[in-house]
Structure 1
Amino acid sequence: MAGSVLFDVPGPRARLRNHAVSAVTVVVVLLVAWVVYARLDSRGQLTAAKWEPFLTADLWRTYVLPGIEGTLTAAAVSIVLALALGFVLGVGRLSTHTAIRWASSVFVEFFRAVPVLIMMIFAYFLYAFYDVFPSKHLALAGVITGLTLYNGAVIAEIVRAGVHALPRGQTEAASALGLTWGQTMRSILLPQAITSMLPVLISQLVVVLKDTALGYQITFVEMVRQGTVIGSAYGNYIPALIVIALLMIALNFTLSWLATRLERRMRRSRKGPAPMEAEPLDLQGDRSRGV
């Protein structure tokens, strides 16, 4: 019997056993889903009346849209600031100056070790104590600060790993051409590293969007908080959280789709020009000319 690359092709008894296990698994999953549905339905959480508030414009205008606006605002600002901070720190960790390299390393290791929620709470009360921002923007500033510091430290490590993954010949060739460290990093290493880092950076941007939900602990108006407020106001916690979950999934997929399109565009733009086709040699003509 022919075998595949990873495993042997199952025989008749093995195929029968696999089909039986698959059938049992499907039955168990359906039973669990039915029990969950029955428990929720018995408490009246899945009745049509619990979903009717989502058909009114007042609920979306009062609760859902402000939550979406808060989530997108915090995520957009945090992504921009975290990318800028991450690239500065990542290049700093690769610097030839010892002081810059050590300072960047301490910053990155410290903020990678501190939980995001702790940084949000600390920044929130720090800004409130010193009256840095107006009271209505305190929660937003705390969320952005926590997300920027943590994700900036993570992106710095991504940048450092991306540059180290490049062949050493790139740096040696630049040195042979007489380029300085800054010129080498700016013109040769970082452009190549960014292309290879894009999938990891996309994943980190999705993490930033999801972590905005932690702002719930400092009264930041975002989607998850608004979902609980809807559940409390209308007594439909399960439908409210289901709707919020679907909206979060849609936002994450949209962000991933946009980032993937940007990645493909950057990869195409960094391709070199097509090689020129060599003209065919006319050997007979060359011989007749005595070549």
Structure 2
Amino acid sequence: MSAKSSTATQVLFDAPGPKGRRRILILSILSVLAIAGLIALGLWQFAKNGQLDPGRWVVYLRADYLAFLGQGLMGTLKATGMAAVVAFPLGLVLALGRHAQIPGLSHLVAVWIEFFRGIPMLLVVYAFLLALPAYGVNVPRFWMLVIPMILVSSATTAEVFRAGIRAVDKGQREAAAAIGLSGFDTMFSVILPQAVRLVLPSLILALVSLLKDSTLGFVVSYNELQFQGKTMVSITRYLVQTYVVVSVIYIAINFLLTRVALVLDARMKARAASS
């Protein structure tokens, strides 16, 4: 850790002393025991009610059930991928607009960003599902989900890009100006490539957030994983088992994406430390 980050940490948090560390350790152990106890109690209750009966779980190994959930997974990945492909570049454009020195543009973009950052995505989904059709605007169910995902994610991603731009050392701008680069060339040839590398782990975490947002597809009856799980409950009558399986799929995907973000972050820190 650099001296600068160490100083920032000390300002934000007081380093615990021996008693503080002992108290933190005891609370951590008690928390783990409490969580383990709750899990054990839940499993005992499930076993008591027959929810752990193998017959209730092996049905999810059937080819038709796997194919049914696979269709939902593909719908989730399709919506998430499409939203990311549009939202991330749009977020970069919004970040540049807010960073621009054009009178009025920065304020207009700031209002747009703050509006979609502050509004719950569910309300935007309902706007496309209920409000717009009342005015004769109808879009396919896929876009009823994806467009709200794009609008909300682009606003949050814009702030991520803006933070990356501001994190690039000011000396880079001065060096670019010294060799005669214009402001435009400096931004697109010097600043942005470094900013994108800095925020890449955060973008992957934003992808995780998009994946979670795609679960709102059930509101518009779009065939994503959550909606398929809801349909499967009506078929199998196994509510607990279905949603456990669906949750495990989500957790596995989010875990892989998070690990990728952590690996990239670690590599970038190691590269920065060696430079």
Q: TM-score, normalised by structure 2?
A: 0.80
Q: Is the 8 A contact 1:227 1:240 kept in 2?
A: yes
Partner of 1:192 in structure 2?
194
Name the amino acid aligned to 2:53: T
> What is the rounded CA distance, in whole Å, between the counterparts of 1:219 and 1:60 in structure 2?
20
> What is the rounded CA distance, in whole Å, between the counterparts of 1:144 and 1:191 in structure 2?
28
Q: Which runs of 5+ in 2 are unaligned?
A: 1-14
Q: What is the aligned counterpart of 1:35 among 9, 33, 41?
A: 41
Partner of 2:65 in structure 1?
59
Cα distance, 1:257 vs. partner? Answer: 4.7
How big is the alpha-carbon RMSD for the aligned residues of Structure 1 and Structure 2? 3.2
1:45 aligns to 2:51 (yes or no): yes
Aligned positions of 1:140-179 closer than 5 A: 140-179=142-181
Q: Deviations over 1:125-170 (max 9, x none)?
A: 436864654xxxx221011101111110111111111111222222
> What is the rounded CA distance, in whole Å, between the counterparts of 1:257 and 1:151 in structure 2?
21
Percent of aligned pairs with the same residue? Answer: 31
Q: Is the 8 A contact 2:205 2:257 kept in 1?
A: no
> What is the rounded CA distance, in whole Å, between the counterparts of 1:108 and 1:29 in structure 2?
39
Partner of 1:183 in structure 2?
185
Q: TM-score, normalised by structure 1?
A: 0.76
Q: Is the 8 A contact 1:124 1:141 kept in 2?
A: no
1:72 aligns to 2:77 (yes or no): yes
Cα distance, 1:224 vs. partner? Answer: 1.6
Structure 2 counterpart SS, 1:98: coil
Q: Deviations over 1:211-233 (max 9, x none)?
A: 10012112121112222222222
- CA 1:189 to 1:28, structure 2 compared with 1: closer, same or farther past 3 Å? closer
> What is the rounded CA distance, in whole Å, between the counterparts of 1:147 and 1:21 in structure 2?
37
- CA 1:178 to 1:72, structure 2 compared with 1: closer, same or farther past 3 Å? same
Greater helix fraction, Structure 1 or Structure 2: 2
1:8 aligns to 2:18 (yes or no): yes
Q: Which runs of 5+ in 1 are unaligned?
A: 276-291
- CA 1:140 to 1:170, structure 2 compared with 1: closer, same or farther past 3 Å? same
Could you say which structure has the larger radius of gyration?
1
Structure 1 counterpart SS, 2:147: helix
Q: Is the 8 A contact 1:213 1:224 kept in 2?
A: yes
